[in-house]
Structures are given as structure tokens and as C-alpha cells.
Structure 1
Amino acid sequence: MAEVTNELLHELMKQFHQRFDKLDFRVSEIKSELHSMRGTMVGTQGTMASVQNDLLNIYGILDRYDARLDRIERRRELRELAEPSTPFDPHP
């Protein structure tokens, strides 16, 4: 049996955290879709509300993508800072 170390537990906790984040986003998307479907059943006013809800859903998804890109860029910057810098040599 593999030895349980703090590093292993830390990695597992990070994976759980990422999965719960994704699950939370999916649940909010499902809620939004249900609200949109409920709006289409009401009539003309419901249709307009449904369109608004769809737009809000799209904006929410775009915001999440923007946040994910920000996190990726921060990780990349941190990694670049951690790596030893070498001057650029165009002619090696």
C-alpha cells in the first residue's frame, strides 16, 4: 500500500477543490436554464424574460472563462518568476 504523505493529501485536496468548483458552476448553469425554461412557459413576457435570462447565462459563462484565464495567467507568471531567467540569445 502506498505511503500517505502530506504532499499526497495536499494534491488530493486540490483535486477535490477543483471538482467542487466545477460542480458548483454546473449547478448554477442548471438553475439558470431552469429559470429560462420556466420563463418560456408564461407567454410573450415570459419569452422576453427568457431571452434576458439566456443573455445573463452567457455573460456568467464568459465571466467564468475570464476568471479561469486570469488564474492560468497568474500561474504562468508565478512559474516564470520561479524559473531561472536566462538572457535571450537569438543566435545560439
Structure 2
Amino acid sequence: MTKADLVENVYFRTGFSKKESAEIVETVFELIKQTLEAGDKIKIAGFGNFIVKQKATRRGRNPQTGEEIEISSRKILTFKPSQVLKNAINEGAN
């Protein structure tokens, strides 16, 4: 599903214009982005948690040359689905 698909679904389900639907989707994504950039976590009941974690500097190895390299510290984004979402996905797999 793409952002355009999301806009289309909001348009059909809410009755807002396509322009208003696009603004709603953009606003939600911008709020999520700003919250994660600030280092805060996002908890959506029945869906899951988005968490920004800090990875420490570590030693690695270049797989082509075998040379040891230092992998710099960085932030990563993780998503942990809620039990409700896990159950919904697994019910569809049966």
C-alpha cells in the first residue's frame, strides 16, 4: 500500500475531498516523523509501538576484504506490533 492508496481510502471512508484526505494523511505522517525525530516513542493501541533506539559504536568486518572496521553509533527505528495486530495477522494466515 502506498501513500496514495492511504489517501484514496481516507477519501472513500470519510467523505472528505481528496485534497483534505491528502492533508490528513500528510499531517499524521508529519506528526509521527516529528515525534520520532525528538526521540519519543509512539504507542498506538491495538497496532503497536514505534521506538527509536541508540546503537553503540562497534567493531565489524568488511565481508569482501576481511578488514576490521568501526561501525559508528547510530539511531535505529524499531516497531513492535501489539498482540491485537499479531492475532489479526495470524487469523488471516489460517
TM-score, length of structure 1 as denominator length: 0.29
When Rg is computed on C-alpha atoms for both structures, the one with the higher figure is: 1
Larger proportion of strand: 2
Structure with greater proportional helix content: 1
> RCO greater where, 1 or 2, for CA within 8 Å and sep 6 or more?
2
Report the TM-score, using the length of structure 2 for normalisation.
0.28
